[in-house]
Each structure stands twice: as C-alpha cells, then as structure tokens.
Chains A and B, each alone.
Chain A
C-alpha cells in the first residue's frame, strides 16, 4: 500500500523532529545532518503523495469504479497525515514567534 508507506515516511520524519536525542545530535553536528527545511520538504512531499492517493480514490468513486471502503481508508490516512503535519507546523511557528518576541 503506497499511501501507508507514504504516511509512514511522514511519521518517521516527524518522529525524527520530535526525538530530542536526534535533534541534539543534528544541532551538535551543525551542517552535517539533514536540515529542518529538508525534513519539512520531505514530510510535505509524503503528505502530497497520500493526498493524491485519496484524490484518485475519490475520483474513481465518483466515476463509479472504486469501493467506498477504499475511499474512506484513503481519506482517513490523509486526514491523519495532514493533522500531524499541521500540528508540527503550529508548534514550529509558535517556537519561532517565541524567539522573535525575545528582547535583544
């Protein structure tokens, strides 16, 4: 199932972000590890793949070709991936704003 692996990739990327040991390591290494931008790009790419899959299923159902069960599972997977990514984005933006508010 490609949507499941896409979602799994997104989760792995998110897990890497939220893993404090991994974060500390990448901060410590400086430019050595993958950057945050890369991580976001990868996560959004994986999310895009999931969304495309659920789109394709919805279209197939509208055309009378797909099973409603497949549509429901694909949409549920997309929903989960979007929710997780949005939550991470909110956290990151909140952290950024916190830093910007810091008096220098």
Chain B
C-alpha cells in the first residue's frame, strides 16, 4: 500500500538523519581532541553525505547515509609550548571543528528529522481516516 510505502521511505530518512546526528556528535565531542603524539595530526572533522538507494521490494528510492568524508581544511594552530602534543616550535594543532558550523548542521538534521516525522504522521492520519469510512 502506498501509505505504508511512504512511511517506510520517511523511516529511511529518519535513519539517515540519525546517522548524520551521530557524525555531528562525534565532531562536537572531539572539538578539542589533540594528537596523541607530539606534532601529529589531531581529530579531523567528518562530513556526512547522503545517497539515494533503490529498494526493490518497496519499489521506491530510499535515502541512506553515504560515505563519510573528512574535511580537508586546515587545523587551528595555537601556540602552547607546555602542551603534551606540542611540536618543536611549541605549536599545537587543534581539530578543524567549528562549533557554530556544527550547531547549524545539528539544527538542519533536527529539522529534517521533524519533516520526516511529519510525513509519517500525515500518512498515518490518512490511513486512519480511510479506515474510518469503513467503520461508519
């Protein structure tokens, strides 16, 4: 039935957004993770991507979390000679995570999740209304 299909499609959206949320959480949590050894690279920001995936049994295009790529931008460098992971010049590389950007991504994931939930809710209400015809 089409309504159940739309619920399944929206559910795939929920799953994808949950995965994206996981990546964002990882970025925020690791915003200050420095390298384990002196002068090495710290945590690199990860970016979630989505791809559409054809589900044969459903006959619809679902969304799935694609490859998780890393952000190639430069690290934040701070001069902290006393830091355990400082290089020979006393500079410490901090992850290229910007809390503001992550917050924006988080909001986007949240809104997208809500949109998918609204699709599920609307489909369910439409099914219920249709069954109500049978009841009256």
Contact = CB atoms under 8 A, between A and B. Distances in A.
Interface residues of B, number: 19
A4 B131 contact: no
B131 A80 contact: yes
A1 to B, nearest CB: 5
B15 A76 contact: no
Given A69-B11, A91-B134, A8 B128 contact: no
B18 A69 contact: yes
* Interface class of chain A by DSSP: helix
A76 B8 CA distance: 10
A94 B22 CA distance: 52
A47 interface: no
Interface of B: 1, 3-5, 7-8, 11, 14-15, 18, 57-58, 120, 124, 127-128, 131, 134-135
Interface of A: 1, 4-5, 7-8, 11, 18, 67, 69-70, 72-73, 76-77, 80, 83-84, 87-88, 90-91
